[in-house]
Amino acid sequence: MLSEHSLDNLKGVGPKQLEKLHKLGLFVVQDLLFHLPLRYQDKTKLTAIENAVVGSEVLIEGEIFSQSLTRGRRSSLLVKIQSTQGHFLTLRFFHFHYRQAQQFTRGKILRVFGEVRSGPNGLEMVHPSYQFISVEDNPALETTLTPIYPTTEGLGQASLLKLMQQAMNLLKQYPLKELLPTALLDELQLPDLNSALFTLHQPQPEDDLRNIKQFSHPAQQRLIVEELISQQAGLQLLRQTEQKRLAPALAHSQTANALLASLPFALTHAQQRVLQEIQYDLALPHPMQRLVQGDVGSGKTVIAALAAIQAAEAGFQVAVMAPTEILAEQHLNAFLEWLEPLQIPVAWLNGRLKAAEKRFQLAQIASGEAKVIIGTHALFQDAVVFNRLGLVVIDEQHRFGVHQRLALHEKGQNQDTHPHQLVMTATPIPRTLAMTAYGDLDISIIDELPPGRKPIDTAVLSNEKRSEVMEHLYLKCKQGIQAYWVCPLIEESELLHAQAAEVTATQFSDNWPDLRVGLVHGRLKGEQKALVMNAFKNHELDLLVATTVIEVGVNVPNSSLMIIENAERLGLAQLHQLRGRVGRGDLQSHCVLLYQPPLSETGKARLNIMRDTNDGFRIAEEDLKIRGPGEILGTKQTGGLQFRIADLKRDSQWIPTAQYWAKNLVAQDAKIVELLQARWVGHKIDYQHA
């Protein structure tokens, strides 16, 4: 069996190479078969220089026209070749030998392969592979695609190819077991496993090379589907385990009605629906696993408070975790306002409590005196001992890793019961992505904003208009509105980042001494940050200059103008989050996205989406298309989303299909599910891409 056939049985595999292969997560021959090409090089046809597209990898032939050396910090060898039509391509070498340079004499014919770039003097290729062509020596073009594998340092493509060759020969003798149901393969018209593997590792000239290159060949699709099915099945198993666990059944609460009656507003229909879903779950003796998605400002906090009341009234504790201190503080204020009149004691924990205060809060938590505990990830600390934790609320989930979510869950384990979990996020996640990233959770969506909210009016302006925008902001503030000015990260340095914000704040105070300007950035201590935020909240400041620390959750309804600098550098989801800080009150809000010209076509298109819609879901769909899942979920979230062949950006259309078949398999064929898991999730490795 190839799943047991160890790699050192292959020719040319010594201890050193074995180590490299292990580093790639390859242990047995079967692993090698599922180590699929990352991409393909196409050396089957020549491209004329005039038809070469910047960014594509092509094979080009031309006659050497000139060669020269550039001097400077890095000397380089430039070889100019010319097509028969008279178009030029420059080959650029940074590393070269004198002898090598001598070979490039005028008039010789070169065949080169590499990525076409646009250089200072037209098209160029940096370090192409090349060969000299002559009448006597004119090798035929390749007849099929060349696979390029993910690899690691010290293990070249050539060595990998040799191993693949041997693995494929073994595959002929010992075909792998087909794990996908015949009905699925028939319905989707996909090939069987073994022939798919042959096609992908050794594409034949008669195969559809174009589709293989674009990863849309049926052979690829069947592996993508199989991998996605295996991932979905894994999530469903996780869910089943969770559903078998016990949790305290929390009866419906009368006190929640008291809060509802005291609120100055009525819940929207969407809030009511989501609240009902939560209340129903909480009353069951198994842990709720629910994700509430609701656009910024849709009113998730009050829903969390109502759930907290239900747990507290049943005699259980509730932990509410927020990703930043600003946000935790804001929740603390809201919960105190809502819960204290109902005699529900609230405790809090953050990183900057004084020792005595912290001891006091910890004692309140341990004794069970405190019912609702609000904090940042300080809630994880060993010193924190909960007393009958019945519900965990995690706000702005995308800021936490899956592991942190699970850790808090485990912390609340009490003999054999687990707390209920309510996870909230303002990042609208496209449905297919949610199925993958949060497939172990039930999803509730608050798809309605409180009445009276006016869509934010957004303008996209060049940075050349910066001083006009500043002036406009000043005039608006003088009329009584409050504004944010956001300076996003430009350099990967917190210091420079903070400085950019400081410079802007100073520009404002220098120009308009009567403007009350506040500044928050990541380098401020928590206490200072809280002071500034409170001053802004109380309208003791007109303008808040900030870095992206204000991205999540901050709620100051009187602020109705936001300027975001260098908007072109931010993900759309993040821009949407930032923009959501305004438009929270009755005023018509405005947002100005400043960009640094020149702006690329896609750059322009992206910012225009922001201008054209306030719909977080549409924005998220676009972001998924343009930037991929990492941007939407945050890098921490994507940890568990590494695939060998599937790509959530490219293949998301398969996810519903995969989920459907995974459900069938989990219900009907545990053995197959186990084999799929072993095949695809056996060991996950970070590839250093070739």
Element (H or E) spanning 483, and its range? Answer: strand 482-486
CB of 334 to Mg ion, least distance (A): 9
Q: Tell me the pairing of strands 389-394 and 420-425.
A: parallel
Q: Tell me the pairing of strands 109-115 and 129-133.
A: antiparallel
Element (H or E) spanning 364, and its range? Answer: helix 355-367
Surface-to-core class of residue 581, CB atoms within 10 Å of its CB (0-12 exposed, 13-18 middle, 19+ buried):
buried
CB of 540 to ligand ADP, least distance (A): 19
Under the binding rule (CB under 6 A), the answer on residue 291 touching ligand ADP is: no
The amino acid present at 177, given as its one-letter code, is K
Question: Given the complex with ligand ADP, which of 232 and 293 has the nearer CB atom?
Answer: 293
CA distances (Å), 604 to each of 96, 313, 372, in order?
40, 52, 46
Which among 265-273, 318-326, 600-608, 611-619 is the span making contact with ligand ADP, rule CB under 6 A?
265-273
Under the binding rule (CB under 6 A), the answer on residue 301 touching ligand ADP is: yes
H helices of 438-493, in order, are 466-478
How many other CB atoms are there within 10 angstroms of residue 639's CB atom? 12
Residue 443's closest CA among 425, 462, 465, 464? 425
Query: Tokens representing 575?
Result: 């821009």
Surface-to-core class of residue 464, CB atoms within 10 Å of its CB (0-12 exposed, 13-18 middle, 19+ buried):
exposed
Which among 104-112, 218-226, 292-300, 642-650 is the span making contact with ligand ADP, rule CB under 6 A?
292-300
CB of 336 to ligand ADP, least distance (A): 14
User: Which of ligand ADP, Mg ion, none does 614 bind, CB closer than 5 to 8 A by kind?
Assistant: none
Which among 300-308, 309-317, 383-391, 465-473 is the span making contact with ligand ADP, rule CB under 6 A?
300-308
Which among 267-275, 362-370, 532-540, 595-603 is the span making contact with ligand ADP, rule CB under 6 A?
267-275
Residues 438-457 that bind ligand ADP (CB under 6 A): 450
Question: Given the complex with ligand ADP, which of 296 and 676 has the nearer CB atom?
Answer: 296
Q: Is the Cβ–Cβ distance between 6 and 27 less than 8 Å?
A: yes
Return the residue of 36, 328, 426, 570 that touches ligand ADP, per CB under 6 A: 426
Return the residue of 94, 132, 174, 265 that touches ligand ADP, per CB under 6 A: 265
Contacts with ligand ADP: how many residues (CB under 6 A)? Answer: 17
Gyration radius from the chain CA atoms: 30
CB of 459 to ligand ADP, least distance (A): 23
User: Which of Mg ion, ligand ADP, none does 294 bind, CB closer than 5 to 8 A by kind?
Assistant: ligand ADP
Return the residue of 41, 83, 220, 268 that touches ligand ADP, per CB under 6 A: 268
Residue in the structure block whose two tokens are 């804001």:
330
Element (H or E) spanning 188, and its range? Answer: helix 182-188
CB of 250 to ligand ADP, least distance (A): 22
CA distances (Å), 417 to each of 369, 372, 381, 479, in order?
21, 19, 21, 56
Query: Tokens representing 215?
Result: 């990863």
CB of 571 to ligand ADP, least distance (A): 18
CB of 254 to ligand ADP, least distance (A): 21
Closest-CB residue for ligand ADP? Answer: 299
Return the residue of 232, 436, 555, 577 that touches ligand ADP, per CB under 6 A: 555
Which among 89-97, 154-162, 273-281, 291-299 is the span making contact with ligand ADP, rule CB under 6 A?
291-299
Listed in sequence order, the residues at least 6 apart from 426 whose beta carbon sits closer than 8 Å to its beta carbon are: 293, 294, 295, 296, 298, 300, 396, 552, 553, 577, 580, 616
Which among 299-307, 466-474, 529-537, 570-578 is the span making contact with ligand ADP, rule CB under 6 A?
299-307
Under the binding rule (CB under 6 A), the answer on residue 423 touching ligand ADP is: no
Rounded to the nearest angstrom, the gap between the alpha carbon of residue 582 and the centroid of all alpha carbons in its chain is 24
Residues near ligand ADP, by CB under 6 A: 265, 267-268, 271, 294, 296-302, 426, 450, 553, 555, 584
